[in-house]
Amino acid sequence: MTRRLVVEADGGSRGNPGIAAGGAVVIDDASGAVLSEIGVYVGVASNNVAEYSGLIAGLDAAVQLDPAASVHVRLDSKLIVEQMTGRWKIKHPDMQQLAAKARTLIEGRDVSFEWVPRLENKRADAAANESMDRRESFRRDLDGGQD
């Protein structure tokens, strides 16, 4: 049976545009253990750029942790879920580039997307906020969810 990883991704901008960062956590679906926490400092950008940055960082970490795993992505951005599933067109050139980068990471892989309410995406939101506060990117790989 194929291992399944869950990527929870988010992004935020303090002002739109403003200081922005994406955040993601990678979770082992079977155990619930957090395997990696990622914050991606973007600088001054829109919320959508920050959201995509969190998605890309989470997908990249999941692929690095287990290239053969299936991945279920949870986002509180309906826009990105609909764009990544192909149900909505991407009109903005910057978003097209970011979506293409995300698609490159998932090409040939078993990946699904789900919209979740913001309150169910607190870990990714916390990673994005930590990155904005620190004004730097980070990645913490955890040993089976143990620090």
Q: What is the pLDDT of residue 16?
A: 87
The residue type at 140 = R
**List of domains in the chain:** 4-141 (3.30.420.10)
Mean pLDDT of 92-119: 95
Q: What is the pLDDT of residue 146?
A: 41
How many CB atoms sit inside 10 A of residue 97's CB?
13
Q: What is the pLDDT of residue 143?
A: 72
- In the block, which residue shows the tokens 């986002």? 75
The conformation of residue 118, written as its DSSP 8-state character, comes to: G
Calculate ∠ Cα 73-13-60, nearest 5°: 35
pTM of the model: 0.94
73: which 2 tokens?
């992505």
For residue 144, what pLDDT band results from cuts at 50, 70 and 90?
A: low
pLDDT digits (tens, 9 = 90+) for 39-57: 999 999 999 999 999 999 9
The conformation of residue 88, written as its DSSP 8-state character, comes to: S
Given a cut of 50, whether residue 70 has pLDDT beyond it is: yes
